Structures are given as structure tokens and as C-alpha cells.
């Protein structure tokens, strides 16, 4: 590794790396001594402080604001198949400690020491995402290692994300090992689901809410339930199995609702479920005007704040959405309000809910507060890895 070109930081810019972070920003680099233009996207570099003391090995993208992502703090370590095998084996061992069945997020980027890489395991089908130029360079050996480790029926690369655009990468979907045709079946909280890893959103399933859906199902018994942005029915089907009287599932995607119906049939709860294709905001306005009410509302929208510049508009969208939901929630009901937007911190979601409760003259308390499941481990130095919020709110009349 001594042959790797150096990437030298300016004076005092190494502090964040030394405290545990893994990212190097372009304005932290001493571009006079180590010009970024000398690197191609995905090149490896030896990261140094201003005294030329080694800080580790990173891959580099000179065209990105985050121009370096540290792979190891040992500057002598080779980033080869053996290195990647150690990291992937460690990630697999952790998941096997956590879960009895092979249905989980196997790799979660920086938290597993593999920045830019995501892998979801759907039994004998693996879905990979490489969201950076450096991760893209590592894709082929990672596929080879996972094939040896897990003997999957298929490995699918689902490289469709806005992050890739920031890295100058094209989007594509490709089956790189084996064959994959149509949906595959998984189990979550002992409930069976069909997942479509090729046509579905992102990898086809969102494992991060596993424990939140389990808690919501416990609250669903004999309740009239509304599942908003239901996608393929992960929340709603589990609520129905939990004993809900009725579950209305709303989503704007017809194909997602088709798979949600299949999941309801698979679990023999379709007689208590209704699937409605509609814009969620418009559905809620009509429900409010028609005085339709629900006892348990599951609100898990897509990220409404994707970039820092969207914070103001996105926060207002969360506020309007939660206000409409509270207007169709029965007194004494429960709202599960979730956000996957990193740029909406937990305290901001709480402030929205607190403010709406006062505005609508309701008494709101948090029954339970949660985040992502343990297959999405949080890196203590990288706040961005802690993105998911879920507030379980009991809402009654004024006190």
C-alpha cells in the first residue's frame, strides 16, 4: 500500500477523522500539495494529515463534495479480496446473531466498514447497491465473495439512486449472478411477504421498520386502521394479522398496491383489507370532509426532505401531513408518525407533533419512540447513519 498516492489534509482538518468519522470533504484537502484533479473517481489514496502522518486508506472522487471515504485506518492494509471478505464475513456474523432467518440488511455502508455499499438479503436472493464511484470499483469482488459465502440463487445489482448522480454514476439494474424472475418471498415478524427486488422501490423492501411494524401490530387489535404510503402492505398486513377490524391501505402506485393485495391474500387477511390508489394528501382531505375516522393511523411517508436546501418546504410538508392525519384520528386513537429524512431530526418531528396537538387542542403523549432496526447499526461518529424516526402517539381530547 506504500505505492498509493497521498491525499493530504490541511492543518487541523484531520480532527474529525481522528474522532471517528470516515469522510473527507473537498475543502479539507491541501490541493496545492495533493491536487484532487490528479485522481480519477474511485481511485484509492493514502490519507495523511498536514504533517504527512498516515490516517488510513480511502477511495476518492474528485468530483464530489465528499471527496474521500475511509476504508481502513491502517495505511498498510491492502484493499483486496481478503480485506473485503473479512468485512463481509463480519457483517454476516452480526446479522446471524440478530436474526434466525436470512431476511435482513446484510451491509449498511459505513456502519459495516464498507462505505457506499448496501446489501439486502431476501433468503437466497441478494440485492446490492453501490452508491459511490469507489464502491462501484469494489462491486465485482464483493459479488464474488458473497457468491462463495452464501451460495445465493441470484444476485441483483439495483443501482438506482440520487446518490449515484452526485457521484457522476449512471443508474442501472442488472442480474449479475443466477436468475431472478418476478417476486421472491420473505418473512418479517413471522409474516410472509412477496418482494419484487427488480421492479420495486430501492431494493424492494424496507427492513428498517421491522420492530416498529411489530409494535404497531400489537396495537391493531379490534381497531380501524389506516396505512398511508402503504407500498406493498408491510404495515397494513401485519396490522390485519394483529387483529385489526379493518385496514385501509393508501398509495399512489398501482403496481405497489397489486403486490400489497397479493400479500394480503398470501396471509389470508384480504377480507379485512381495502386498497385505495390515491394521493395521500387528497385522500386525507376527503376523509376529513366526509368525517371518516380511524383508531390507528400508520404514517410512513417517503423522504420529504432529501437535501439540506429542502428543509423548509419539507418540514412544512410533514406538518401538513400530520395535521391532516390528526384530523381523521378518533379521540383515544394512536398515530404512528415516521420519518426517514435525515434532515428532519427527532426533536423537529416531536416539535411538529407537539405544535399540532396544541393547535388542534388535543392531548398527545409518546407511548414509544423508536428508530431503525439493528440490521441498520448506527455509527456513533456519523450522524447520517441514524436517520429513521418513529413516534407512537396516543392522542385524546383536551386535558
Whole-Å CA distances, 123 to 126, 127, 182, 280, 379: 8, 11, 15, 32, 26
Helix axes 311-327, 346-359, angle to 10 degrees: 40
Q: Which triple of cell numbers denotes residue 124?
A: 437466497
**Catalytic (active site) residue 340:** yes
Alpha-carbon span 68 to 62, nearest angstrom: 8
**Contact criterion met (CB below 8 Å) for 330 and 362:** no
Alpha-carbon span 83 to 3, nearest angstrom: 17
Alpha-carbon span 336 to 210, nearest angstrom: 14
For residue 173, report the phi and psi dihedrals to the nearest 5 degrees.
Answer: -125, 130
Q: In a 3-state reduction of DSSP, which class is residue 344?
A: coil
Closest to 246 in 3D by CA, of 294, 212, 289:
294
Alpha-carbon span 191 to 108, nearest angstrom: 24
DSSP string, 16-73: HHHTT--EEEGGGB-TTTS-GGGSPTTEEEEEE-TT--EEEEEEE-TTSSEEEEEEES
CB half-sphere exposure, 28, CA atoms < 13 A: 20
Whole-Å CA distances, 139 to 111, 131, 151: 18, 11, 17
Beta strands in the chain (DSSP E): 6-8, 23-25, 43-48, 54-60, 66-72, 103-108, 117-122, 125-130, 154-159, 172-178, 184-188, 191-195, 224-228, 246-251, 273-277, 294-299, 329-339, 363-370, 389-396
Among the listed residues 67, 230, 249, 340, the single catalytic one is 340
Active-site residue numbers?
340
Amino acid at each position: 500500500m506504500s505505492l498509493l498516492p497521498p491525499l493530504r489534509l490541511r492543518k487541523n482538518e484531520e480532527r474529525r477523522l481522528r474522532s471517528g468519522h470516515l469522510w473527507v470533504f473537498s475543502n479539507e484537502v491541501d490541493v496545492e500539495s495533493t491536487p484532487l484533479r490528479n485522481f480519477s473517481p474511485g481511485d484509492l489514496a493514502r490519507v495523511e494529515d498536514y504533517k504527512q502522518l498516515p490516517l488510513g486508506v480511502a477511495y476518492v472522487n474528485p468530483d464530489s463534495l465528499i471527496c474521500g471515504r475511509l476504508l481502513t485506518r491502517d495505511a498498510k492494509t491492502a484493499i483486496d479480496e481478503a480485506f473485503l471478505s473479512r468485512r463481509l464475513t463480519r457483517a454476516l456474523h452480526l446479522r446471524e446473531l440478530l436474526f434466525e432467518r436470512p431476511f435482513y440488511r446484510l451491509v449498511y455502508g459505513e456502519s459495516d466498514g464498507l462505505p457506499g455499499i448496501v446489501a439486502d438479503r431476501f433468503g437466497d436472493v441478494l440485492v446490492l447497491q453501490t452508491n459511490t464511484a469507489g464502491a462501484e470499483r469494489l462491486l465485482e469482488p464483493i459479488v464474488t465473495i458473497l457468491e462463495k459465502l452464501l451460495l445465493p440463487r441470484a444476485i441483483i445489482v439495483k443501482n438506482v439512486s440520487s446518490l449515484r448522480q452526485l457521484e457522476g454514476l449512471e443508474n442501472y439494474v442488472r442480474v449479475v449472478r443466477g436468475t431472478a424472475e418476478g417476486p421472491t418471498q420473505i418473512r418479517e415478524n413471522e409474516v410472509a411477504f412477496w418482494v419484487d427486488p427488480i421492479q420495486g422501490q430501492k431494493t424492494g423492501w424496507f427492513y428498517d421498520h421491522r420492530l416498529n411494524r411489530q409494535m404497531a401490530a400489537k396495537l391493531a387489535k379490534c381497531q380501524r386502521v389506516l396505512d398511508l404510503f402503504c407500498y406493498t402492505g408491510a404495515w397494513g398486513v401485519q396490522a390485519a394479522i394483529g387483529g385489526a377490524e379493518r385496514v385501509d391501505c393508501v398509495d399512489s402506485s398501482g403496481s405497489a398496491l397489486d403486490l400489497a393485495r397479493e400479500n394480503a391474500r398470501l396471509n389470508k387477511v384480504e377480507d379485512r383489507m381495502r386498497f385505495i390508489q390515491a394521493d395521500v394528501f387528497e385522500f386525507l382531505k376527503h376523509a376529513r370532509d366526509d368525517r371518516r375516522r380511524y383508531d390507528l393511523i400508520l404514517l410512513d411517508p417517503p423522504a420529504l426532505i432529501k437535501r439540506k436546501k429542502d428543509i423548509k418546504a419539507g418540514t412544512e410538508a410533514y406538518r401538513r401531513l400530520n395535521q391532516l392525519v390528526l384530523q381523521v384520528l378518533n379521540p383515544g386513537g394512536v398515530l404512528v408518525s415516521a420519518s426517514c429524512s435525515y434532515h428532519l431530526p427527532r426533536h423537529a418531528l416531536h416539535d411538529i407533533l407537539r405544535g399540532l396537538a396544541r393547535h388542534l387542542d388535543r392531548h398527545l403523549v409518546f407511548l414509544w419512540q423508536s428508530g431503525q432496526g439493528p440490521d441498520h447499526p448506527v455509527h456513533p461518529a456519523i450522524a447520517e447513519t441514524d436517520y429513521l424516526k418513529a413516534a407512537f402517539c396516543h392522542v385524546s381530547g383536551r386535558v
